[in-house]
Amino acid sequence: MLQVSQRVHYGLRAMTELAKAYGNGPVSLAEIAEAERLPAGYLEQLAMPLRRAGLIEGRRGLHGGYELAVPPADVTVGAVVRALDGAVAPVVCLTVEYVPGSCERDPVCLSRSVWKRVKDSVDRVLDSITLAELCTTSCAEPAVTFIPPEQIQRLGAKDPCSIAG
Amino acid sequence: MLQVSQRVHYGLRAMTELAKAYGNGPVSLAEIAEAERLPAGYLEQLAMPLRRAGLIEGRRGLHGGYELAVPPADVTVGAVVRALDGAVAPVVCLTVEYVPGSCERDPVCLSRSVWKRVKDSVDRVLDSITLAELCTTSCAEPAVTFIPPEQIQRLGAKDPCSIAG
DNA sequence: TTATAATCCTAGTATCCGACTAGGGAAATC
DNA sequence: GATTTCCCTAGTCGGATACTAGGATTATAA
C-alpha cells in the first residue's frame, strides 16, 4: 500500500541526476533518460511541472538541457514530489481544496486523525531530505551482497525498479 | 500524492464501528454499511481478508455479524491496513517479494533510501495507533466550526470522504 | 543560412487496476 | 423450513496512469 506513482519515482530519479551534474552546465533529457533508463518522452512531461515550480531551468538549442535552478542543498525531496503529484494527502479531507465540514462524517470521523498523522509524518521526512544529502549518502544501505545470476534472469519481465505491486 | 485506497479507507472505518461495538455481540455488515455509508457488497469483500488475518470473527445466521477477534486495544491500525492492502511499500524494492539486487540500479540508487525512510515513518505511525485509542480520542481535532448549508449543497456530486484527488 | 539539437506544448491512446455489482451457496436462528 | 446472515467467485465498468505522437520554438554551429 501507499505506492508512489511512476511520475514521482521517475521525477525524483531525474532530479538526482541533475543534482549530481550541478555546476557542470545543463544536462539533456536524453542523457537523463539514458542514465536512469527512463522513457524520454514521458520524462519530458515531468520536466514541465518541475520547471514551473522553479526547481529546474531549461536551456534550448544545441548543448542545451536542464539544470537545477538552485543548489542541491536547497532542494528538498518534498518540494520535488509536491511539484509532480501535489501535496501528500491520503484522503481528500486533508487536501487544500477540501472545505472544512463538507463531509457529513466530519464531526464523528474516527479515521481522519490517522491519516493526518501519516501525512505529517511523511511531510516531515520528505522535507528533511535534500538532493545534496541524497548525493553524498548515496549507498549507505545497499540492498545486496551477492546475487546469483540465475536469480536475476528469473525476474526478467518485471522491472523491479518500478512502483510496488 | 500517496493516496490511500478506498479499500483501506472503508476497511478502517468499518473496523472503528466494530471497535465501538466491542463486547455487545456481533454487528452485521448491513449495519456497518448503514452507519458508515459504505456499499454493502463491497464491504463484504473487505471482511474476508480481515477475518483471515485474525482481526475479526464472523457469526452466521440471524443476529449474526462480525466482531473483533481481540480487544480494540490490541488491534493496531497498521495491522488493519496490512490485512487489506499489504505492507506499506512506496516502491517494489521495498516489498518482501523483492529479491535484493535484482534491480540493476540497486548499487547506485539514490532514491531508495528516501522511500525506505518514508515507509519506516509511516509504519511507526500506523503501528502506534490502536482502535481503542481511535475510539476514545475521536474528535480531538474537528475540522469544522460552522458550515453554510449552501456550501454543502454545492459539493453535491463528489463524496468528500473518498480518497484524495 | 541551413541543419541540427534541444526545450516546449498539446493531444491522443491504451492498458491496467480499483471499485464496485451479481449471484449463488452454507450455516445459524426462529 | 423460512429467513437472515456470512462466505466465496466471477464479472464489469470507468477512470486514471503511463505512456506515444506530432509539432512549434529557440539556440548553436558549420
Nearest nucleotide (CA of A66 to C1'): C7
Instruction: State how many domains chain B has.
Output: 1
Provide the pLDDT confidence category of residue A120 given band limits of 50, 70 and 90: very high
The values of phi and psi at residue A81, to 5°, are: -70, -35
The pLDDT of B117-129, averaged and rounded, is: 98
B143 vs B163 pLDDT, higher one: B163
Global pTM value: 0.85
Residue A65 has pLDDT above 50, yes or no: yes
Extended strands (E) in chain B? 56-59, 65-68
Lowest average pLDDT, out of A75-84, A90-99, B121-130, B146-155, goes to B146-155
> A136: pLDDT confidence band, cut at 50, 70 and 90?
confident
- Strand D at less than 7 A from CB of A42: yes
CB A69 within 8 A of CB A55: yes
Domain membership of residue B148 (yes or no) is: no
Contact status, residue B46 vs residue B81, Cβ threshold 8 Å: no
Q: What is the pLDDT of residues B47-104, one digit of tens each?
A: 999 999 999 999 999 999 999 999 999 999 999 999 999 999 999 999 988 988 888 8
| Radius of gyration, CA atoms only, chain A | 19
In a domain, residue B7? The reply is: yes
pLDDT at site A83: 98
pLDDT at A86 over 50: yes
Q: Is residue B111 part of a domain?
A: no
For B141, name the nearest residue in chain A, comparing CA atoms only: A113
d(CA B64, CA B52): 18
pLDDT tens for each residue of B7-28: 999 999 999 999 999 999 999 9
- Does residue B6 fall inside a structural domain? yes
pLDDT digits (tens, 9 = 90+) for B68-77: 999 999 999 9
Tell me which residue range forms the domain holding B9: 1-86
Does some domain include residue A155?
A: no
Assess whether A22 (CB) lies less than 7 A from strand C: no
- What's the confidence (pLDDT) of residue A31? 97
Q: Is the CB of B45 under 7 A from strand D?
A: yes
Q: Which nucleotides of chain D are near protein (any atom < 7 Å from a CB)?
A: 3-10, 16-22, 25-29
A157 pLDDT exceeds 60?
Answer: no
Please report whether residue A37 resides in a domain. yes
Q: Looking at the predicted structure, is the pLDDT value of residue A121 above 60?
A: yes
Question: Looking at the domain assignment, is residue B2 inside a domain?
Answer: yes
Assess if residue A49 is contained within a domain.
Answer: yes
Q: Is the pLDDT of residue B157 over 50?
A: no
pLDDT exceeding 90 applies to what percent of chain A?
A: 73
Query: Is residue A116 exposed (0-12), middle (13-18) or buried (19+ Cβ within 10 Å)?
Result: middle
Which CATH number does the domain housing residue B19 bear? 1.10.10.10
